[in-house]
Structure 1
């Protein structure tokens, strides 16, 4: 598999519990039968992209997304549900991070926003758990766009083939692999643990 220097984590559905497709469908009032279609629509939503890039406010995001969904739900109700969307860390998330030997550079690459980033770092305690953080709302680009992956590669100063990227969304994995990274689709801590074991990163 080659030598890995950097373990690059997505957060949602990898280390952070978003509550599954039922919670997604409840918050966004969409059909949860096909999870992959649901997430593809999310990634291509103009309102989502603008908010995750830090270009619009939470209120503007809510209004834009509700209009895209042709929903008559109140903006206030939606905003509170959206803020509360991330449940917390999956059991064992911090323990898994601590298992990774210090020889590896641990980093985050997350599509996130002003409503969630503070909760993830402070309330869920991920501040200080990684060497590098790449948050879309601070970088101005979102996955699966190539620009944010180039930003990570350039900032870390590491060849892409020495980066292992763990993400729950296949579109993001495809983008990472296209640029030469090792990309693996992950759902939850135990899945991440197995992949890290297979790459001989943890015992």
Structure 2
């Protein structure tokens, strides 16, 4: 059960908002999943896009991203479908090593939190997110972390946005959601949240300034 957060921002650099919700891979950190599979594909002479597409299919259909399957089962199924011969440890290292936290994003997170805004992570990740937290101290920057692996629900289910709003105790039109996947952005917008589709640092900072003109760079 997630404890509700009751603090509220009054005034501050982001008028009209009470909470900012961040995706992890591709927003708070470099996108390690797809970059990792790109490196694995190159090493095996495989098509990078095809390998990543297969991996996404396995991780979703097999239920690993929702905590319904183990990491071992994920890698075994992926090997069966692709012929990859490396160990679990070698393969996972290629992915996890590429989820490098973006310092400038955590600077924004810390400034928002210091100004009284609720900050949260909403991620379609596996148990890897816990390992990345142990390595980089990610969770300590946030009021709330919701991860599909622990929830049994992904951002493909629009009600997940209702869940995080309820946990944060904020109305949809008082929350800003940032993600690098257009489908998640569309579903969040349909639930009434403000959104920023992350496509790169410069564009993100330009868009964030429109919501938070008083937030120092």
What's the TM-score bracket when you normalise by the shorter of the two chains?
Answer: 0.7 to 0.9
Q: 1:71 aligns with which of 51, 71, 82?
A: 82
Bigger Cα displacement from structure 2, 127-136 vs 147-156 = 147-156
CA deviation after TM superposition for structure 1 residue 19, in Å: 5.0
Verify: 1:125 aligned to 2:137, yes or no. yes
| Structure of higher CA gyration radius | 2
TM-score (norm 1): 0.81
Deviations 1:56-95 (A, max 9, x none): 111111122344xx3111262x553234413221242322
Label 1:84 to 1:20 Cα distance change in 2 as closer, same or farther (>3 A). closer
Verify: 1:27 aligned to 2:43, yes or no. no
Label 1:62 to 1:28 Cα distance change in 2 as closer, same or farther (>3 A). farther
Q: 1:96 aligns with which of 91, 100, 108?
A: 108
**In 1, Cα distance between the equivalents of 2:186 and 2:159?**
14
TM-score (norm 2): 0.76
Q: 1:169 aligns with which of 181, 185, 189?
A: 181
Conservation of the 8 A alpha-carbon contact between 2:33 and 2:95 = no
Conservation of the 8 A alpha-carbon contact between 2:66 and 2:149 = yes
Cα RMSD of the aligned pairs, angstroms, is 2.9
Conservation of the 8 A alpha-carbon contact between 2:182 and 2:197 = yes
Conservation of the 8 A alpha-carbon contact between 1:113 and 1:137 = yes
Match of 1:138 in 2: 150
Match of 2:20 in 1: 7
Match of 2:90 in 1: 80
Show structure 1 runs of 5+ residues with no match: none
Q: Number of residues paired by the alignment?
A: 195
Show structure 2 runs of 5+ residues with no match: 1-13
